[in-house]
Amino acid sequence: MIKRIVYISKSTINFNSNELRQLATRASECNKQFDITGYLYFEKNHFLQYIEGEKDVINTLINNIKNDKRHEVLNVQENKDSSNRKFPTWHMHQLTKSSLIQINMENILMDYMTYNHTGISSESIWRMIDKLSKFRKKLSYSL
Ligand SMILES: Cc1cc2nc3c(=O)[nH]c(=O)nc-3n(C[C@H](O)[C@H](O)[C@H](O)COP(=O)(O)O)c2cc1C
């Protein structure tokens, strides 16, 4: 069984594009070792990150991430029942606005999770994640 987590956080420091790239590269290297896949999106001082993998490694990673002083985690959604990965080739893919030009789904998801904690059902969030995975192959920077 694959455990999947999506969360939103607010950065506590100013990240420039180099620092963001470094963060995603380092995350990707570490995630490879533990067979964790997912993506990271940054916009307006907020991160949206989706991670998937074996239960124990995901629990350890989310604890590390929550303790990371470079951001404050605001909203975490967990889903334990997936039998397959949605983003098997992305160890930690840095999604950029240009790679999302065809779909504005991440912004929508981010807005929901930031401003509307109570108004959206957990099922809607997971439906959006599944939709995004169907678009994955269309994204230009998909490797
Ligand atoms: C927004 C954000 C996303 C992160 N994503 C990952 C990740 O996917 N994988 C990872 O190993 N570390 C990630 N990190 C870094 C972890 O918080 C932590 O620094 C890392 O696991 C190393 O922990 P350690 O120094 O205690 O070994 C992320 C940090 C931030 C701020």
C-alpha–C-alpha distance, residues 124 and 66, integer Å: 24
Ligand 1 atom closest to Cα of residue 68: 17
pLDDT the model gives residue 141: 47
C-alpha 37 to ligand 1 mean position (Å): 13
Cβ 133 under 6 angstroms from ligand 1: no
Q: Chain-wide mean pLDDT for the chain?
A: 84
DSSP secondary structure, 56-115, as one string: HHHHHHHHHHHH-TTEEEEEEEEEEEESS-S-TT-SSEEE-TGGGTT--HHHHHHHHHHH
Q: Which helix (H) or strand (E) holds 135?
A: helix 122-135
Domains of the chain: 2-142 (3.30.70.100)
At residue 42 the predicted structure's pLDDT band, cuts being 50, 70 and 90, is very high
30 DSSP β-pair partners:
none
Of the chain, the percentage scoring pLDDT greater than 90 comes to 52
User: Ligand 1 pocket: which of 13, 30, 87 to mutate (most atoms <8 Å of CB)?
Assistant: 30
β-pairing verdict for 93-95 and 37-43: parallel
Q: Read off the pLDDT of residues 77-99 as tens digits, 9 standing for 90 and up.
A: 998 678 889 888 888 888 876 66
Ranges 35-49, 83-97, 99-113: which has the least confidence: 99-113
Closest ligand 1 atom, CA of 42?
Answer: 1
Q: Would you say how long the chain is, in residues?
A: 143
Neighbours of 11 (CB within 10 A): 16
> How many angstroms does the Cα of residue 19 sit away from the middle of ligand 1?
13
| Angle separating helix axes 122-135 and 105-115, nearest 10 degrees | 160
State the CB neighbour count (10 A cutoff) for residue 107.
Answer: 15
Q: Cα(40)–Cα(38) distance, rounded to whole angstroms?
A: 7
Range of lowest pLDDT (34-43, 49-58, 62-71, 121-130): 121-130
- Contact between 59 and 4 (Cβ < 8 Å): no
Residue with more model confidence, 34 or 135: 34
Whole-prediction pTM: 0.81
* Residue 118 pLDDT level (bands cut at 50, 70, 90): low
Q: Whose CA is nearest to atom 16 of ligand 1?
A: 65
User: Residue 71 CA: which ligand 1 atom is closest?
Assistant: 31
**Span 8-16, mean pLDDT?**
95
Among 21, 18, 77, residue whose Cα is nearest residue 51: 77
What confidence score (pLDDT) does residue 116 get? 59
